[in-house]
Chains A and B, each alone.
Chain A
Amino acid sequence: MTDQTIRSTLDASARKAVDVDLAGLADIHATSGPDELKRRIADRLAITPRDGSAPHYMLTDAGGAVLAGDIRRWPELDPSVSESGTITVGEGTSAYARATQLAPDLRLLVARETADNGALRQHVAIVFLGGGALFVLLVGALGKLAAGRLHWRIQRINDAFRESDDDRLIAMRPRGRSDEIDELTGHSAAALVRQKRLVEAYRDTSDQIAHEIRTPLMHLDGRLTKALAADPGEAVATRLLEGRADIKRLVAMLESLLDIAASKARQGDRHGLKRFDLSEMATRICELYADSAEESGHLFTWDIAPGIRFDGEEMQLTQLVTNLLDNAFKYVPSGGSVHLSLAAGPVLTVADDGPGIGEADREKVFRRFYRSPGDAAGSPGSGLGLALAKAIAERHDLSIAVAPSERSATFVVRAREA
């Protein structure tokens, strides 16, 4: 495009030069006569212009004899109408020319070279390329600087989301000048502060509930223990022991509820997760359950791939696995089988050949205090085991579901799909 612009600019300037020259020469002829005109043409031809747009002339009589100039052959331009056009001069050089009739027996052709602008174009190209390169470098450097700054500002937001300590949150407060990113930073800081306050408020409340309920329960348990120590006779002792068992159940239920709430509140929060050997943990639990399974007449088998490491709270995941096993042993009648498998991923499966879970109940079993219709009213358990298992799974970015099957139940815990 630049080349095209240069070309048309040069052509226009050649046309203008030809027209001005022609007018000047016509003027000289009119005032000083043909001889002066010839002299002037010779003078002009003697000077080689610097810009390469050399002039060419031809002055002929009516018969076509050349009176002056360096063009030897009259081109196809009609002097009577002052026709102009592009002609070829010398050895194939293109030129813009205009012819005119000065007198009935005298005609003049003025031409000026136009094509040889290569040097100029090269020059312009160098200027353009050099300038362009410099410009690109400058823009690149500025871009890098801006990107670096942007990266730093966004990094700051990301850091605060990862670890929202007070220093980071204070540093995120917008100062004076503000653009979209400052605004985003401000909103992020406000959201994080709010989230922190909510978690703190939740913690305070649940701590208070725990404290206020556990303390009287402990006193009650203390009274029952004292009564038991006083040798009350078998019938009373049985009642007292039942009372103590009830207290334990209440505390366990309270703990489960608080654990569910805490796990839900910390869903997606990676703080406090530590890498540990999931295979080792699962093996330990299976070994613990082996004897009681045998005692209760269940066939309990496991298949654990070794060395599976996972980022999590070990105690919570221990609870997840034991809750699934407790659930299986509770519903599978004696003589049935329970199988636990752990594969890389991690994918943990607890499968049994018990009565299974109807399609309508597959989601509901994870609800708090949900009891399936076939569940005996007096069966033990708080109805929180699977709800807690789900909350723990989700806190660790794992999914938990009952796999569809006609008979038997298969619980699958695996990494959640992004």
Chain B
Amino acid sequence: METLKILYVEDDQRAASEVQEMAAGRGDIVVWENSGSGGLLRAGMEKFDVIILDRMLGDLDGLTILKRLRESGVGTPVLMLSALGRTTDRAEGLDAGADDYLAKPFEAQELLARLRALHRRAVGREHSAVILYGAFECHVKARTAFRDNRHLSLSPREFELFRYFMENAGEVVTREMLLQDVWNMSFDPQTNVVDVNVGRMRRKLEDGFKSPALETIWGSGYRLLDGR
């Protein structure tokens, strides 16, 4: 798996070390800056694959840093991280030019999965016509899916879900990611809509095959397996 060089601007040392620890396990490099001005300086000097910006910092707020970065021509994808999770805060962050927004408390796994998705988008690899992963094939334009060359009969909604798993193949996909990216919801409904929808798709991916298609990560979400 490709490793990422990440700049993390965060004044909470514990959050920073947790992310660093998790990232190191996957070979990613996290450069930590504990102040807004330090982060701004670093982003201007070095090249990073992605930048994580905390929204509330002691000196400069995340939105200001983002604005300055963009003004000075730094186009690196930015994920805004914030303890403000309200829907309006999220919209504000994205309107200000952040490429993604994640509310605290977050799972380090989700953060890293999102960073990878951001990086993929930035280097223009996310819209390929066919996504291949293990035994799975996702034909984006034709909207068809295959496992071991066998056609999978998915409904349009199930196909969207499958495509999202294929785009994040091998990564943990959390409930929050699915809600936000597939169904455009920034909150978790009380009804177990995510589990049910994933469960239905999963049955179609596994029907007639011996090995499982998805792994359930308890309390977090799912991971697409290679299906072999």
Contact = CB atoms under 8 A, between A and B. Distances in A.
Interface of A: 207, 210-211, 214-215, 217-219, 221-222, 225, 228, 237, 241, 244-245, 247-248, 251-252, 255, 258-259, 262, 272, 284, 287-289, 291-292, 295, 313-316, 318-319, 322-323, 325-326, 329-330, 380-381, 385
Interface string B40-80: 00000000000000001000000000000000000000000
A288 B193 contact: yes
5 contacts: A211-B56, A211-B83, A272-B88, A313-B87, A315-B91
Contacts of A322: 185, 187, 189, 191
Contacts of A314: 184
Contacts of B150: none
Given A217-B105, A284-B183, A385-B190, A316 B197 contact: no
A241 B219 contact: yes
B104 interface: yes
Interface in B172-204: 183-193, 196-197, 199-200
A230 to B, nearest CB: 13
Given A211-B84, A222-B105, A326-B190, 12 more contacts: A214-B104, A247-B105, A248-B188, A255-B86, A262-B86, A262-B88, A315-B87, A315-B186, A318-B185, A319-B87, A326-B189, A330-B190
B107 A288 contact: no
A262 B89 CA distance: 11
A368 to B, nearest CB: 16
Interface of A is mostly: helix
A272 B105 CA distance: 26
B190 to A, nearest CB: 4
A295 B107 CA distance: 29
Contacts of A207: 56, 83-84
B15 interface: yes
B87 A289 contact: no
A315 B12 CA distance: 29
Contact of A291 (B106, B185, B187, B200): B200
A381 B192 CA distance: 12
Contacts of A262: 86, 88
Contacts of A329: 191
Contacts of A385: 190
A244 B91 CA distance: 27
Nearest to B87: A315
Contacts, number: 112
B107 A225 contact: yes
Contacts of A237: 218
Given A241-B218, A318-B185, A222 B108 contact: yes
B215 interface: no
Nearest to B17: A222
Contacts of B105: 214-215, 217-218, 221-222, 247, 251
Tell me which of B14, B56, B83, B103 has the highest count of chain A C-beta atoms within 10 A of its own C-beta.
Answer: B83
Given A244-B219, A288-B183, A313-B87, A325 B56 contact: no
Contacts of A315: 87, 90-91, 184-187
A295 B196 contact: yes
Interface of B: 12, 14-15, 18, 56, 83-88, 90-91, 103-108, 157, 183-193, 196-197, 199-200, 218-219
Contacts of A248: 188
B165 to A, nearest CB: 16
B124 to A, nearest CB: 28
A228 to B, nearest CB: 7
A258 B191 contact: no
A313 B91 contact: yes
B56 to A, nearest CB: 6
List the 7 shortest-distance A-B pairs measured between CB atoms, nearest first.
Answer: A218-B105, A292-B196, A211-B83, A326-B190, A315-B87, A214-B83, A322-B189
B12 A252 contact: no
A123 to B, nearest CB: 75
Contacts of B83: 207, 210-211, 214-215
A338 to B, nearest CB: 11
Nearest to B158: A291
Nearest to A294: B196
Nearest to A380: B190
B86 A258 contact: yes
A291 B106 CA distance: 28
A291 B190 CA distance: 15
Contact of B104 (A215, A228, A289, A330): A215
Nearest to A252: B188
A292 B190 contact: no
Nearest to A217: B105
Contact of A222 (B14, B91, B184, B187): B14
A318 B56 contact: no
Given A221-B105, A262-B86, A291-B196, A215 B188 contact: no
B97 to A, nearest CB: 17
Nearest to B195: A292
Nearest to B186: A315
A313 B57 CA distance: 27
A314 B91 CA distance: 10
Contacts of B199: 295
A289 B199 CA distance: 13
A244 B108 CA distance: 14
Given A211-B56, A211-B84, A215-B15, A252 B187 contact: yes
Nearest to A381: B190
Given A218-B105, A237-B218, A241-B218, A319 B14 contact: no
A396 to B, nearest CB: 13
Contact of A255 (B12, B185, B187, B190): B187
A259 B86 CA distance: 6
Contacts of B12: 215
